[in-house]
Amino acid sequence: MLSRPMDSHQRAVGAFDTGVTAHPAASRSPHARLARRLGRSGLLAGMVFILASIVATAPAAASSTAIGVPMAFPRTATPWTGAVELYRASAFTTQPNYYTCVPTAVQIMLNLASGTSSHSTSQISSWYKWGRAHNAYAYAAPGLDPASWIGLLNTFGNHVYQDESFTTFNDALRAAATAMRETNLPIGLLVDHAHHAWVMTGFAATADPLRSPFNVTSVTVMGPLYPLQTGSYDPRPGTRFTPTQLATYMTYYVEAFPVRWSNQYVIVAPLS
């Protein structure tokens, strides 16, 4: 469940969960999509449903770079300049309280996608109520999960998103960069063991992800808790991280009970 603790890494208020009201196109397997994007075959589809407690063994550690391989080049793709950057200061909104990170991230993502600069707290409140009714699971704590996140984007936006889960940080980052290059749209990142929501607004790479093997060298993010919290978890909007730095924030999914994202690295990505 997505929710950012007030001043520490303990859980507080923000469920993050995927599985509801997904667009029919979103039923395609994320792993199949990754195989298509990265030119792989035989990638295991489906997620392992963890029946253990939260103390399960952590997935593989991230390396300093994320390396990907090319896929078919879309005719709609713009010329490669070394990076994709959607960051715009006026698109950023600070979440009004500690359990509305997901609807605030949705507002930021729709601002970036449509060129708007909405900062309506009533809209965030309305979306939060909608999201609570569309979580994939029932949570005692407040917050929204990946299911309601994609439901909000697909219901109130103009593009189709789906949640995607990966066993390693590097696979998740490769998929996020490739999706952004394909679509020129922002990506949702589940951070702090899926207790919080960030928006990926850009990345730099050593080569075009759609044409050549590539290394991701930096990622630009917006964290909607900035500057609300006193513990300074969320960086200033537009902050750039190396993959190694981002990996300290974008950690695997943990919930108080088994969910279909358990022990996976999760992103919210647009379909091309």
Residue pLDDT, tens place only, 203-227? 999 999 999 999 999 999 999 999 9
The pTM of this model reads 0.79
Q: What angle do CA 179, 115, 123 make, to 5 degrees?
A: 95
pLDDT for 40 equals 36
Residue segments in the chain with a per-residue pLDDT below the cut of 50: 5-58, 60-65, 69-71
Closest CA to 11 of 97, 132, 98, 131: 98
What DSSP string runs through 194-244?
TTEEEEEEEEEESS-TTTS-EEEEEEEEE-TTTTT-SS--SPPTTEEE-HH
Structure confidence by residue, pLDDT tens digits, 176-206: 999 999 999 999 999 999 999 999 999 999 9
- The continuous run of DSSP H or E covering 123 comes out as helix 121-132
Asked whether the beta carbons of 224 and 94 are under 8 A apart, the reply is yes
Q: Which residues contact 122 (CB under 8 A, 6 or more apart)?
A: none
CA–CA distance, 226 with 233 (Å, rounded to integer)? 8
- Domains of the chain by range and CATH? 24-270 (3.90.70)
* pLDDT value for 10: 34
Whole-angstrom distance, CA of residue 14 vs CA of residue 263: 18
